[in-house]
């Protein structure tokens, strides 16, 4: 039978109110037939069709599910909370699912299996809104057969930030799927300091890939409590672990790590290895002026890449210390809202030059006399940019991508807005800006209520979080 034959058959069944035939077509027909069967059942309006229609909310085809939702709406939305939750999730009414409460958790977890990535993302973001209530089901989902579900479950657990997830997430670092490992690592970063004790212990695991990931996570968390274990990890038998350990020490920026890093550099059998490059880069990030002289001595040694890394480290140290880098306030780009920096170009040994330009687009348009740059989360702000006394206020909702902000002011926003901020910062390719996040304070309006999980997420990502009165927003 052809397509039109099937459709004609559905119409005939609808005309004679053949409910059993339509329900059978809803289960076993091709996608178009299943859609037509759902439409027909909706038109007939018989309540006995509700149960099979609810079962079809799990159909793999989005178009079929949409037709089923419309049919259910015509017959009557079921009063049972579990059935209503399945209906709301299939309808993609995420806010409604969250408001319904706990019955929506399992349907949302099932939605993370969808082939449509947007549905998966919105499902896991909705699960974050449930906070601690969703932790146990999500921990169970970490063991799901679908790597996609494990991936989003890990991200949701990181968004909630509950310490019960720490050990299971560390175990998920050994998952055979690299996406799940990545998601588990990001989740542990979001949980932050409460995960430190378990992460430090995991630095001794037999699996070197886990040790490598743990070193990276400790560097992203940036706590000095991890400094000594990371110094020991610089002696790991696996070079990848050693490289990540010294990179992590650079991200933590504790000057007590300078001498162990210098000692490790001096005792390398191959002074131009990947470890030496990572170590020099770490010294540049820490910014201790004591290493300028030894770094300057090796400025023209080793491979070209090592030389360039060393030069960048020296420049970083000079720029990070007021005693050595004292100039007028750095200009700001009016397009990217990024500050300017110096670009050095070495054409040959005999010829090199430098120039100042936007650190992002390298353009030379300038916003003059700009002091602090503030990212504003305020739905009522009707302009992209506002300047008040040299302070630059940038409307995040108009820009929606990372820039060189010095503070964050949250006036009117919701959980999804906080998630969008964290997601964009995760995708940010500028390492300098990523490293500065721990130096940036966040101010929240006293009139705004955010879930505890979002508050914890902000606390883990940024320097501090302070609640202010609306009058103090300027």
Give the SS3 label for residue 268.
coil
Model pLDDT, residue 48 = 77
Class of domain 225-326: mainly alpha
Provide Rg for the chain, Cα atoms: 28
Name the band, by pLDDT with cuts 50, 70 and 90, for residue 324: very low
Number of neighbours of residue 292 by Cβ within 10 angstroms = 16
Strand order in the sheet with 385-388: 385-388, 391-395, 373-378, 407-412, 441-445, 464-468
Q: What is the mean pLDDT of residues 239-267?
A: 92
Task: Write the pLDDT tens digit of every residue in 181-195.
Answer: 999 999 999 999 999
Model pLDDT, residue 51 = 80
The phi and psi torsions of 407 (rounded to 5 degrees) equal -145, 165
What is the rounded CA–CA span in Å between residue 360 and residue 339?
A: 8
- Average predicted confidence (pLDDT) for the chain: 84
At residue 134, does pLDDT exceed 60? yes
Query: Which range has highest mean pLDDT (29-33, 69-73, 419-423)?
Result: 419-423
Model pLDDT, residue 127 = 95
Name the band, by pLDDT with cuts 50, 70 and 90, for residue 327: very low
Looking at the DSSP bridge assignments, the partners of residue 354 are 344
Model pLDDT, residue 248 = 96
**Percent of all residues in the chain with a pLDDT value above 70, rounded to a whole number:** 92
The 3 state secondary structure assigned to 383-446 is CCEEEECCEEEEEHHHHCCCCCCCEEEEEECCHHHHHHHHHHHHHCCCHHHHHHHHHCEEEEEC
Name the band, by pLDDT with cuts 50, 70 and 90, for residue 320: low
Name the band, by pLDDT with cuts 50, 70 and 90, for residue 474: very low
At residue 4, does pLDDT exceed 80? no
Name the band, by pLDDT with cuts 50, 70 and 90, for residue 330: low
282 contacts 246 by C-beta, under 8 angstroms: yes
Task: Write the pLDDT tens digit of every residue in 193-208.
Answer: 999 999 999 999 999 9
Enumerate the domain spans of the chain.
225-326, 327-370, 373-472
The candidate with the shortest Cα–Cα distance to 460, out of 126, 268, 187, 227, is 187
Task: Write the pLDDT tens digit of every residue in 342-391.
Answer: 777 564 554 455 666 778 877 767 787 788 899 999 888 888 888 888 88
At residue 19, does pLDDT exceed 90? no
Q: What is the mean pLDDT of residues 420-433?
A: 84
At residue 2, does pLDDT exceed 70? no
Model pLDDT, residue 355 = 63
Model pLDDT, residue 325 = 38
Q: What does the angle CA 429 – CA 435 – CA 437 come to, to the nearest 5 degrees?
A: 100
- Whether this prediction's pTM lies above 0.75 is answered by no
At residue 150, does pLDDT exceed 80? yes
Task: Write the pLDDT tens digit of every residue in 50-94.
Answer: 787 777 777 777 777 888 787 887 888 878 888 889 888 888 899
140 contacts 154 by C-beta, under 8 angstroms: no
Model pLDDT, residue 390 = 83
At residue 244, does pLDDT exceed 70? yes
CA torsion angle for 155, 156, 161, 167 (degrees, to 10)?
-60
Model pLDDT, residue 121 = 93
């Amino acid at each position: 039978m052809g397509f039109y034959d099937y459709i004609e058959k559905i119409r005939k069944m609808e005309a004679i109110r053949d409910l059993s035939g339509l329900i059978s077509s809803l289960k076993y027909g091709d996608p178009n037939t299943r859609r037509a069967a759902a439409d027909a059942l909706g038109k007939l309006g018989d309540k006995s069709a509700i149960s099979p229609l609810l079962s079809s909310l799990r159909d793999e085809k989005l178009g079929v599910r949409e037709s089923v939702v419309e049919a259910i709406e015509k017959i009557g939305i079921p009063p049972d909370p579990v059935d209503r939750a399945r209906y709301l999730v299939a309808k993609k009414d995420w806010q409604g699912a969250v408001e319904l409460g706990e019955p929506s958790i399992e349907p949302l977890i099932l939605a993370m299996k969808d082939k449509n990535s947007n549905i998966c993302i919105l499902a896991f973001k909705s699960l974050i809104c449930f906070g601690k209530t969703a932790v146990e089901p999500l921990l169970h989902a970490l063991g799901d057969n679908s790597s996609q579900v494990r991936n989003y479950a890990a991200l949701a657990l990181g968004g909630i930030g509950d310490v019960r997830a720490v050990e299971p997430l560390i175990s998920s670092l050994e998952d055979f799927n690299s996406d799940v490992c990545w998601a588990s690592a990001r989740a542990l970063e979001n949980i932050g300091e409460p995960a430190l004790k378990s992460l430090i212990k995991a630095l001794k695991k037999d699996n070197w890939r886990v040790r490598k990931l743990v070193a990276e996570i400790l560097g992203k968390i940036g706590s000095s409590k991890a400094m000594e274990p990371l110094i020991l990890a610089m002696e790991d038998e696996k070079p990848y672990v050693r490289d990540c350990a010294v990179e992590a020490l650079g991200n933590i920026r504790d000057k007590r790590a300078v001498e162990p890093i210098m000692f490790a550099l001096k005792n390398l059998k191959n002074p131009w290895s990947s470890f030496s490059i990572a170590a020099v880069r770490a010294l540049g990030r820490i910014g201790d002026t004591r290493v300028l002289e030894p770094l300057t001595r090796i400025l023209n040694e080793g491979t070209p890449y090592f030389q360039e890394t060393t030069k960048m480290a020296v420049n970083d140290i000079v720029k990070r210390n007021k005693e050595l880098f004292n100039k007028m306030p750095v200009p700001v780009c009016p397009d990217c809202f990024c500050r300017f920096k110096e670009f050095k170009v070495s054409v040959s040994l005999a010829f090199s030059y430098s120039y100042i330009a936007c650190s992002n687009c390298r353009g030379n348009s300038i916003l003059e006399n700009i002091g602090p740059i503030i990212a504003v989360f305020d739905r009522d702000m009707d302009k992209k940019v506002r300047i008040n006394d040299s302070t630059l206020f940038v409307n995040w909702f108009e820009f929606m991508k990372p820039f060189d902000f010095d503070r964050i002011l949250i006036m009117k926003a919701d959980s999804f807005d906080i998630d969008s901020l964290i997601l964009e910062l995760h995708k940010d390719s500028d390492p300098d800006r990523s490293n500065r996040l721990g130096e940036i304070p966040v101010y929240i309006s006293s009139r705004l209520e955010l879930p505890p999980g979002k508050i914890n997420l902000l606390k883990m990502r940024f320097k501090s979080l302070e609640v202010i009165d609306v009058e103090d927003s300027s």
